[in-house]
A and B are shown apart, each in its own frame.
Chain A
Amino acid sequence: DADVTQTPRNRITKTGKRIMLECSQTKGHDRMYWYRQDPGLGLQLIYYSFDVKDINKGEISDGYSVSRQAQAKFSLSLESAIPNQTALYFCATSEGGSYTDTQYFGPGTRLTVL
């Protein structure tokens, strides 16, 4: 969905380096999410934010941190990358306000940690 963009799209880094993945959206949604996708495991929630002042840990937050700089921007950081953080990372947004609202995903960032 072009309304949700992620940068970079691909990144190769080394163990111990700090990495930031960025997500921007023009959908005007309040809620934003970070997921990682590993083969055979589906998507796992890392962090989510229901508004600029609300940040929550997901299922697998260890080793990650986030920053919600504005309604439209939500960044994911790996303070000291390790090889098992090699994965495909997705940002998503949703309007919120209902249990039935739909999440919309960015194109993903493929991260490789050597």
Chain B
Amino acid sequence: AQSVAQPEDQVNVAEGNPLTVKCTYSVSGNPYLFWYVQYPNRGLQFLLKYITGDNLVKGSYGFEAEFNKSQTSFHLKKPSALVSDSALYFCAVRDAGFQKLVFGTGTRLLVSP
């Protein structure tokens, strides 16, 4: 069965610095990977997804993610963090054999001024 791990419960970064939120996955076939963000009192918002092709995927709000097949990772990145990026981030995976998304436990990003 597919699974996703987000090893960090919280990531702290200063505004203006680059940020990385980590995600590793396990699937039996080709991975289809997603990142979502949840702001306080809001539902999850789609950020980006990897289907195939370029290993660097660009998404909303200046975020990007790097797919690494050999390390089974799909880390979320942003070159310069904003205080407004502070939120809960979820990685999710769906493999070719399943119709559902499996979510990680989430990583809280805290960007300090």
> Which A residues are within 8 Å of any B CB, using their own CB?
1, 4, 33, 40-45, 48, 50, 58, 90, 92, 99-100, 102-108
Contact of A42 among B34, B49, B95, B105 (CB under 8 A): B105
Of the residues B9, B36, B44, B94, contact of A99 by C-beta under 8 Å: B94
Name B91's closest neighbour in chain A (CB-CB): A42
Further 19 A-B residue pairs, CB within 8 A, beyond A42-B105, A99-B99:
A1-B43, A33-B100, A40-B105, A41-B105, A42-B103, A42-B106, A43-B103, A48-B99, A90-B44, A99-B32, A100-B51, A102-B34, A102-B46, A102-B49, A105-B36, A105-B44, A105-B45, A107-B42, A108-B41
| Tally of A-B Cβ pairs under 8 angstroms | 50
